[in-house]
Protein backbone atom coordinates (compact mmCIF):
# COMPACT_ATOMS: atom_id res chain seq x y z
CA UNK A 1 0.00 0.00 0.00
CA UNK A 2 1.54 3.31 -1.08
CA UNK A 3 -0.75 6.25 -0.30
CA UNK A 4 1.31 9.39 -0.99
CA UNK A 5 1.16 12.55 1.11
CA UNK A 6 3.36 15.63 0.54
CA UNK A 7 6.34 14.47 2.60
CA UNK A 8 5.54 10.95 3.77
CA UNK A 9 4.31 7.66 2.27
CA UNK A 10 1.97 5.23 3.97
CA UNK A 11 3.60 1.80 4.03
CA UNK A 12 1.36 -0.04 6.50
CA UNK A 13 -2.09 0.44 8.01
CA UNK A 14 -3.23 -1.73 10.89
CA UNK A 15 -6.41 -1.66 12.93
CA UNK A 16 -5.20 1.10 15.28
CA UNK A 17 -1.87 2.32 13.88
CA UNK A 18 -0.42 3.60 10.62
CA UNK A 19 3.26 3.44 9.67
CA UNK A 20 4.70 6.13 7.42
CA UNK A 21 8.03 6.49 5.59
CA UNK A 22 9.34 10.09 5.66
CA UNK A 23 10.86 10.98 2.30
CA UNK A 24 13.70 12.92 3.93
CA UNK A 25 14.66 10.16 6.42
CA UNK A 26 14.92 6.73 4.87
CA UNK A 27 16.39 5.35 8.11
CA UNK A 28 13.26 6.26 10.10
CA UNK A 29 9.62 5.27 10.27
CA UNK A 30 6.85 7.38 11.76
CA UNK A 31 4.14 5.72 13.85
CA UNK A 32 0.74 7.38 13.78
CA UNK A 33 -1.56 6.16 16.54
CA UNK A 34 -5.16 6.58 15.45
CA UNK A 35 -8.35 7.10 17.44
CA UNK A 36 -9.51 3.60 16.42
CA UNK A 37 -9.50 0.73 18.91
CA UNK A 38 -9.62 -3.07 18.86
CA UNK A 39 -10.79 -5.69 21.37
CA UNK A 40 -10.75 -9.52 21.35
CA UNK A 41 -8.27 -9.49 18.41
CA UNK A 42 -11.12 -8.33 16.13
CA UNK A 43 -9.38 -5.39 14.51
CA UNK A 44 -10.89 -1.95 13.92
CA UNK A 45 -14.14 -1.43 15.82
CA UNK A 46 -17.10 0.57 14.44
CA UNK A 47 -16.45 3.84 16.32
CA UNK A 48 -13.48 5.86 17.60
CA UNK A 49 -12.24 7.37 20.88
CA UNK A 50 -11.38 11.05 21.00
CA UNK A 51 -7.70 12.05 21.46
CA UNK A 52 -6.71 8.39 21.83
CA UNK A 53 -4.01 8.46 19.16
CA UNK A 54 -2.35 11.67 20.30
CA UNK A 55 -2.48 10.57 23.93
CA UNK A 56 -0.84 7.22 23.12
CA UNK A 57 1.97 8.98 21.24
CA UNK A 58 2.62 11.24 24.24
CA UNK A 59 2.47 8.40 26.76
CA UNK A 60 4.74 6.21 24.62
CA UNK A 61 7.28 9.01 24.19
CA UNK A 62 7.28 9.69 27.94
CA UNK A 63 7.98 6.08 28.82
CA UNK A 64 10.65 5.58 26.15
CA UNK A 65 12.48 8.69 27.35
CA UNK A 66 12.16 7.78 31.03
CA UNK A 67 13.31 4.19 30.51
CA UNK A 68 16.33 5.33 28.48
CA UNK A 69 17.64 7.21 31.53
CA UNK A 70 20.33 5.14 33.29
CA UNK A 71 19.98 7.28 36.44
CA UNK A 72 16.34 6.22 36.72
CA UNK A 73 17.44 2.57 36.70
CA UNK A 74 20.16 3.17 39.27
CA UNK A 75 17.56 4.59 41.67
CA UNK A 76 14.94 1.89 41.01
CA UNK A 77 16.19 -0.64 43.64
CA UNK A 78 15.40 1.96 46.32
CA UNK A 79 11.79 2.40 45.22
CA UNK A 80 9.33 2.27 48.13
CA UNK A 81 6.65 0.95 45.78
CA UNK A 82 8.54 -2.30 45.13
CA UNK A 83 8.74 -3.27 48.82
CA UNK A 84 5.59 -5.39 48.41
CA UNK A 85 7.56 -7.99 46.40
CA UNK A 86 9.85 -10.72 47.72
CA UNK A 87 13.17 -9.25 48.80
CA UNK A 88 15.25 -12.25 47.72
CA UNK A 89 13.68 -12.22 44.26
CA UNK A 90 14.26 -8.49 43.85
CA UNK A 91 17.87 -8.79 44.98
CA UNK A 92 18.46 -11.45 42.33
CA UNK A 93 17.17 -9.01 39.68
CA UNK A 94 19.41 -6.17 40.87
CA UNK A 95 22.46 -8.49 40.81
CA UNK A 96 21.79 -9.90 37.36
CA UNK A 97 24.24 -8.88 34.63
CA UNK A 98 21.39 -7.48 32.53
CA UNK A 99 20.56 -4.95 35.23
CA UNK A 100 24.15 -4.24 36.27
CA UNK A 101 25.79 -3.97 32.84
CA UNK A 102 22.90 -2.84 30.62
CA UNK A 103 19.94 -1.13 32.28
CA UNK A 104 21.76 0.72 35.06
CA UNK A 105 24.65 1.73 32.76
CA UNK A 106 22.97 2.40 29.41
CA UNK A 107 19.26 2.61 30.17
CA UNK A 108 16.77 0.59 28.16
CA UNK A 109 17.63 0.71 24.47
CA UNK A 110 14.66 1.12 22.12
CA UNK A 111 13.71 2.02 18.56
CA UNK A 112 12.34 5.41 19.72
CA UNK A 113 13.92 8.52 18.19
CA UNK A 114 11.56 11.28 19.31
CA UNK A 115 8.19 12.92 18.69
CA UNK A 116 7.87 14.74 15.37
CA UNK A 117 5.26 16.76 13.50
CA UNK A 118 4.27 16.11 9.88
CA UNK A 119 6.78 18.76 8.79
CA UNK A 120 9.53 16.76 10.51
CA UNK A 121 10.07 19.15 13.42
CA UNK A 122 10.93 17.68 16.81
CA UNK A 123 8.04 18.13 19.25
CA UNK A 124 8.42 18.14 23.03
CA UNK A 125 6.04 16.12 25.18
CA UNK A 126 4.82 19.34 26.78
CA UNK A 127 3.80 20.78 23.38
CA UNK A 128 2.53 17.59 21.75
CA UNK A 129 -1.09 17.94 22.82
CA UNK A 130 -1.54 21.53 21.65
CA UNK A 131 0.30 21.46 18.31
CA UNK A 132 -2.13 21.66 15.38
CA UNK A 133 -0.20 19.25 13.16
CA UNK A 134 -0.47 15.49 13.32
CA UNK A 135 2.25 14.07 15.60
CA UNK A 136 4.19 10.85 15.14
CA UNK A 137 6.59 8.63 17.04
CA UNK A 138 9.82 8.56 15.03
CA UNK A 139 11.42 5.10 15.29
CA UNK A 140 14.10 2.93 13.73
CA UNK A 141 12.75 0.54 11.08
CA UNK A 142 12.62 -3.14 12.00
CA UNK A 143 12.44 -6.08 9.59
CA UNK A 144 9.56 -8.50 10.16
CA UNK A 145 10.09 -12.12 9.09
CA UNK A 146 6.58 -13.54 9.07
CA UNK A 147 5.90 -17.25 9.59
CA UNK A 148 3.98 -19.23 6.99
CA UNK A 149 0.74 -20.97 8.00
CA UNK A 150 0.10 -24.64 7.15
CA UNK A 151 -2.48 -27.26 8.02
CA UNK A 152 -0.92 -30.62 8.92
CA UNK A 153 -2.98 -33.55 10.28
CA UNK A 154 -5.88 -31.15 10.62
CA UNK A 155 -3.89 -28.82 12.86
CA UNK A 156 -2.87 -25.22 12.17
CA UNK A 157 0.91 -24.88 12.34
CA UNK A 158 3.38 -22.12 11.49
CA UNK A 159 6.80 -22.40 9.92
CA UNK A 160 9.32 -19.76 11.01
CA UNK A 161 12.00 -19.22 8.35
CA UNK A 162 15.62 -19.50 9.50
CA UNK A 163 17.44 -16.23 10.17
CA UNK A 164 19.78 -15.57 7.23
CA UNK A 165 21.35 -12.34 8.47
CA UNK A 166 21.97 -12.05 12.20
CA UNK A 167 23.21 -8.46 11.87
CA UNK A 168 19.93 -7.04 10.51
CA UNK A 169 17.51 -5.33 12.87
CA UNK A 170 14.56 -7.72 13.11
CA UNK A 171 11.48 -8.15 15.22
CA UNK A 172 11.62 -10.94 17.79
CA UNK A 173 8.36 -12.83 17.05
CA UNK A 174 7.32 -13.00 20.72
CA UNK A 175 4.97 -11.09 22.97
CA UNK A 176 6.25 -10.98 26.53
CA UNK A 177 3.36 -10.88 29.00
CA UNK A 178 4.12 -9.84 32.58
CA UNK A 179 1.72 -10.20 35.49
CA UNK A 180 1.79 -8.78 39.02
CA UNK A 181 -1.44 -10.48 40.07
CA UNK A 182 -4.65 -12.07 38.86
CA UNK A 183 -7.40 -9.45 38.59
CA UNK A 184 -10.96 -10.30 37.59
CA UNK A 185 -11.09 -11.04 33.87
CA UNK A 186 -7.50 -12.27 33.65
CA UNK A 187 -6.99 -15.08 31.13
CA UNK A 188 -4.58 -16.67 33.61
CA UNK A 189 -7.48 -17.74 35.83
CA UNK A 190 -8.87 -20.17 33.22
CA UNK A 191 -5.44 -21.67 32.54
CA UNK A 192 -4.88 -22.31 36.23
CA UNK A 193 -8.34 -23.86 36.58
CA UNK A 194 -7.50 -26.29 33.76
CA UNK A 195 -4.00 -26.98 35.07
CA UNK A 196 -3.28 -25.95 38.68
CA UNK A 197 0.32 -27.17 38.31
CA UNK A 198 0.89 -24.29 35.88
CA UNK A 199 1.28 -22.05 38.95
CA UNK A 200 4.49 -23.90 39.76
CA UNK A 201 5.73 -23.45 36.17
CA UNK A 202 5.23 -19.69 36.57
CA UNK A 203 7.19 -19.65 39.82
CA UNK A 204 4.21 -19.19 42.14
CA UNK A 205 4.01 -21.13 45.39
CA UNK A 206 0.28 -21.81 45.07
CA UNK A 207 -2.73 -21.12 42.84
CA UNK A 208 -3.67 -17.48 43.49
CA UNK A 209 -7.18 -16.29 44.23
CA UNK A 210 -8.90 -13.76 41.99
CA UNK A 211 -7.72 -10.17 42.65
CA UNK A 212 -4.68 -11.46 44.55
CA UNK A 213 -1.26 -9.84 44.09
CA UNK A 214 1.70 -12.16 43.55
CA UNK A 215 4.79 -12.16 45.74
CA UNK A 216 6.77 -11.52 42.56
CA UNK A 217 5.87 -10.77 38.95
CA UNK A 218 5.60 -13.66 36.50
CA UNK A 219 6.24 -13.78 32.76
CA UNK A 220 4.56 -15.70 29.94
CA UNK A 221 5.72 -15.88 26.33
CA UNK A 222 3.27 -15.75 23.41
CA UNK A 223 3.50 -15.71 19.63
CA UNK A 224 3.40 -12.28 18.00
CA UNK A 225 2.95 -12.93 14.27
CA UNK A 226 0.38 -15.71 14.13
CA UNK A 227 -3.33 -15.25 13.44
CA UNK A 228 -4.11 -15.75 17.13
CA UNK A 229 -1.76 -15.29 20.07
CA UNK A 230 -0.54 -18.68 21.32
CA UNK A 231 1.05 -19.47 24.68
CA UNK A 232 4.56 -20.91 24.32
CA UNK A 233 6.85 -22.98 26.48
CA UNK A 234 10.29 -21.48 27.01
CA UNK A 235 11.68 -24.21 24.74
CA UNK A 236 9.34 -23.31 21.86
CA UNK A 237 9.93 -19.60 22.40
CA UNK A 238 13.67 -20.19 22.04
CA UNK A 239 13.18 -22.16 18.83
CA UNK A 240 10.92 -19.67 17.01
CA UNK A 241 12.64 -16.51 18.28
CA UNK A 242 15.94 -17.08 16.49
CA UNK A 243 17.69 -15.92 19.67
CA UNK A 244 20.55 -17.60 21.47
CA UNK A 245 19.79 -18.94 24.98
CA UNK A 246 21.74 -15.99 26.41
CA UNK A 247 19.71 -13.49 24.40
CA UNK A 248 16.42 -15.04 25.49
CA UNK A 249 17.53 -14.89 29.13
CA UNK A 250 18.46 -11.22 28.64
CA UNK A 251 15.07 -10.54 27.04
CA UNK A 252 13.31 -12.10 30.04
CA UNK A 253 15.46 -10.23 32.58
CA UNK A 254 14.93 -6.97 30.71
CA UNK A 255 11.19 -7.64 30.81
CA UNK A 256 11.30 -8.17 34.57
CA UNK A 257 13.18 -4.89 34.93
CA UNK A 258 10.76 -3.02 32.67
CA UNK A 259 7.76 -4.42 34.52
CA UNK A 260 9.18 -3.27 37.87
CA UNK A 261 10.04 0.13 36.40
CA UNK A 262 6.49 0.65 35.12
CA UNK A 263 5.02 -0.56 38.39
CA UNK A 264 7.04 2.12 40.18
CA UNK A 265 6.10 4.87 37.71
CA UNK A 266 2.38 4.12 37.82
CA UNK A 267 2.42 3.82 41.60
CA UNK A 268 3.74 7.39 41.71
CA UNK A 269 0.44 8.40 40.06
CA UNK A 270 -1.57 6.20 42.44
CA UNK A 271 -2.39 3.78 39.61
CA UNK A 272 -2.13 0.01 40.03
CA UNK A 273 -0.35 -1.87 37.23
CA UNK A 274 -1.54 -5.47 37.12
CA UNK A 275 -0.20 -6.81 33.82
CA UNK A 276 0.95 -5.86 30.33
CA UNK A 277 3.10 -6.79 27.38
CA UNK A 278 6.41 -5.92 25.74
CA UNK A 279 7.84 -6.49 22.28
CA UNK A 280 11.48 -6.52 21.26
CA UNK A 281 13.76 -6.37 18.26
CA UNK A 282 17.36 -7.47 17.98
CA UNK A 283 20.34 -6.42 15.86
CA UNK A 284 24.12 -6.62 16.03
CA UNK A 285 24.07 -4.18 18.98
CA UNK A 286 21.68 -6.35 21.01
CA UNK A 287 18.06 -6.23 22.13
CA UNK A 288 15.83 -3.17 21.99
CA UNK A 289 12.30 -2.40 23.14
CA UNK A 290 9.89 -1.71 20.24
CA UNK A 291 6.26 -0.92 19.46
CA UNK A 292 4.92 1.26 22.27
CA UNK A 293 4.03 1.37 25.96
CA UNK A 294 0.64 2.61 27.06
CA UNK A 295 -2.83 1.71 28.30
CA UNK A 296 -3.56 -0.44 25.23
CA UNK A 297 -0.71 -2.74 26.28
CA UNK A 298 -1.32 -2.57 30.05
CA UNK A 299 -4.00 -3.35 32.64
CA UNK A 300 -4.30 -0.31 34.90
CA UNK A 301 -6.65 0.13 37.86
CA UNK A 302 -7.43 3.13 40.08
CA UNK A 303 -9.93 2.76 42.93
CA UNK A 304 -11.14 -0.55 41.44
CA UNK A 305 -11.86 1.06 38.05
CA UNK A 306 -10.01 -0.16 34.95
CA UNK A 307 -8.09 2.58 33.10
CA UNK A 308 -7.26 0.66 29.94
CA UNK A 309 -8.81 -1.28 27.10
CA UNK A 310 -10.22 -3.65 29.72
CA UNK A 311 -12.80 -0.94 30.47
CA UNK A 312 -14.07 -1.32 26.90
CA UNK A 313 -13.82 -5.11 26.94
CA UNK A 314 -16.17 -5.17 29.94
CA UNK A 315 -18.85 -3.44 27.86
CA UNK A 316 -18.69 -6.16 25.18
CA UNK A 317 -18.04 -9.10 27.50
CA UNK A 318 -21.02 -11.45 27.59
CA UNK A 319 -22.52 -9.98 24.41
CA UNK A 320 -23.82 -12.17 21.58
CA UNK A 321 -20.87 -10.93 19.50
CA UNK A 322 -18.27 -12.01 22.08
CA UNK A 323 -19.92 -15.43 22.42
CA UNK A 324 -19.90 -15.80 18.63
CA UNK A 325 -16.16 -15.06 18.57
CA UNK A 326 -15.52 -18.06 20.82
CA UNK A 327 -17.73 -20.28 18.68
CA UNK A 328 -16.09 -19.05 15.46
CA UNK A 329 -12.60 -19.68 16.79
CA UNK A 330 -13.57 -23.18 17.89
CA UNK A 331 -15.06 -23.92 14.45
CA UNK A 332 -11.94 -22.58 12.72
CA UNK A 333 -9.71 -24.77 14.88
CA UNK A 334 -11.76 -27.91 14.17
CA UNK A 335 -11.80 -27.22 10.43
CA UNK A 336 -8.12 -26.26 10.21
CA UNK A 337 -8.95 -22.68 9.19
CA UNK A 338 -7.52 -19.35 10.31
CA UNK A 339 -10.32 -17.06 9.07
CA UNK A 340 -12.42 -17.17 12.25
CA UNK A 341 -13.58 -13.57 11.78
CA UNK A 342 -15.21 -14.50 8.47
CA UNK A 343 -16.98 -17.38 10.20
CA UNK A 344 -18.23 -14.95 12.83
CA UNK A 345 -19.45 -12.46 10.24
CA UNK A 346 -20.90 -14.70 7.53
CA UNK A 347 -21.97 -17.90 9.29
CA UNK A 348 -22.91 -16.57 12.72
CA UNK A 349 -24.05 -13.12 11.50
CA UNK A 350 -22.34 -11.34 14.39
CA UNK A 351 -20.34 -8.11 14.34
CA UNK A 352 -19.57 -5.59 17.09
CA UNK A 353 -21.96 -2.72 17.78
CA UNK A 354 -20.94 0.85 18.58
CA UNK A 355 -20.39 1.84 22.20
CA UNK A 356 -23.42 3.11 24.14
CA UNK A 357 -23.54 6.92 23.90
CA UNK A 358 -23.38 7.53 27.65
CA UNK A 359 -20.33 5.31 27.98
CA UNK A 360 -18.59 6.77 24.93
CA UNK A 361 -18.87 10.29 26.37
CA UNK A 362 -16.84 9.07 29.34
CA UNK A 363 -14.36 6.87 27.47
CA UNK A 364 -13.49 9.85 25.24
CA UNK A 365 -11.80 11.35 28.34
CA UNK A 366 -9.80 8.24 29.29
CA UNK A 367 -6.65 8.69 27.25
CA UNK A 368 -6.07 12.45 27.86
CA UNK A 369 -6.67 11.95 31.59
CA UNK A 370 -4.12 9.12 31.65
CA UNK A 371 -1.59 11.18 29.69
CA UNK A 372 -1.90 14.04 32.19
CA UNK A 373 -1.60 11.66 35.17
CA UNK A 374 1.42 9.78 33.79
CA UNK A 375 3.39 12.79 32.56
CA UNK A 376 2.52 14.72 35.71
CA UNK A 377 1.48 17.84 33.79
CA UNK A 378 -1.68 19.16 32.16
CA UNK A 379 -0.52 18.36 28.63
CA UNK A 380 -4.22 18.15 27.68
CA UNK A 381 -6.11 21.21 28.92
CA UNK A 382 -9.56 21.20 30.52
CA UNK A 383 -9.55 17.53 31.47
CA UNK A 384 -10.91 16.05 34.71
CA UNK A 385 -8.57 14.77 37.39
CA UNK A 386 -8.07 11.03 37.68
CA UNK A 387 -10.45 10.86 40.66
CA UNK A 388 -13.09 12.91 38.84
CA UNK A 389 -12.81 10.65 35.81
CA UNK A 390 -13.22 7.48 37.89
CA UNK A 391 -16.37 8.91 39.49
CA UNK A 392 -17.85 9.54 36.04
CA UNK A 393 -17.03 5.97 34.97
CA UNK A 394 -19.07 4.52 37.83
CA UNK A 395 -22.13 6.47 36.71
CA UNK A 396 -21.67 5.62 33.01
CA UNK A 397 -21.20 1.91 33.64
CA UNK A 398 -24.34 1.86 35.78
CA UNK A 399 -26.21 3.31 32.80
CA UNK A 400 -24.78 0.68 30.42
CA UNK A 401 -25.76 -2.18 32.73
What pLDDT is attached to residue 398? 53
pLDDT tens figures, 142-156: 999 999 999 899 888
What tens digit of pLDDT does each residue of 288-339 get?
Answer: 999 989 998 899 999 989 898 888 888 898 899 999 999 999 999 888 888 8
What would the DSSP string read from start to end of 16-35? SEEEEEETT-TT-EEEEE-S
For residues 186 and 317, is the Cβ–Cβ distance under 8 A? no
Tell me what pLDDT residue 399 has.
Answer: 45
Contact 171, 143 (CB under 8 A): yes
The DSSP bridge partners found for residue 304 are none
Which has the closest alpha carbon to 232: 243, 222, 245?
222
H or E element that contains 8: strand 8-13
Q: Going by DSSP bridges, is the β-strand pair 272-283/174-182 parallel, antiparallel, or unpaired?
A: antiparallel
Output the pLDDT for position 308.
82
- The answer to whether 289 and 277 are in contact (CB under 8 A) is no
Predicted confidence at residue 227, as pLDDT, reads 83
The rounded distance, in Å, linking the Cα atoms of 296 and 311 is 11
Residue stretches of the chain with pLDDT short of 70? 1-6, 394-401
SS3 category, 108: coil
pLDDT at 395 (0 to 100): 65
pLDDT of residue 396: 63
Helices (H) and strands (E) in the chain, counts: 15, 17
Q: What backbone phi and psi angles, to 5 degrees, belong to 212?
A: -95, 135
272 contacts 301 by C-beta, under 8 angstroms: yes
Whole-structure pTM value: 0.89
Kindly list the domain boundaries of the chain, sorted by start residue. Answer: 3-400
For all residues of the chain together, what is the average pLDDT? 92
Percent of the chain surpassing pLDDT 70: 97
In angstroms, the CA 103 to CA 75 distance is 11
Is 63 in contact with 269 (CB distance < 8 Å)?
no
Per the CB < 8 A criterion, the answer to whether 218 and 206 are in contact is: no
Predicted confidence at residue 331, as pLDDT, reads: 92
Amino acid sequence: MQNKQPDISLIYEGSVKKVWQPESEKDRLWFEYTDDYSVFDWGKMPDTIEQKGRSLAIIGAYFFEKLADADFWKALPKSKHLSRFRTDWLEARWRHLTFVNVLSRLGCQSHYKGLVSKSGQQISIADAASTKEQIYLSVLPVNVNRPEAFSILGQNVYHYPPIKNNSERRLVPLEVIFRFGMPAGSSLKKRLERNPDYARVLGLESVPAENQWFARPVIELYTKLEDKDRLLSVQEALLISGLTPGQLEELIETSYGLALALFDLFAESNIELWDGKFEFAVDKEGLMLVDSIGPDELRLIHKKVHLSKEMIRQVYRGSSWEKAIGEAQKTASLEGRIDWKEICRKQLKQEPKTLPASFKAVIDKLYPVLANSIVGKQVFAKQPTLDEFVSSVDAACAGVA
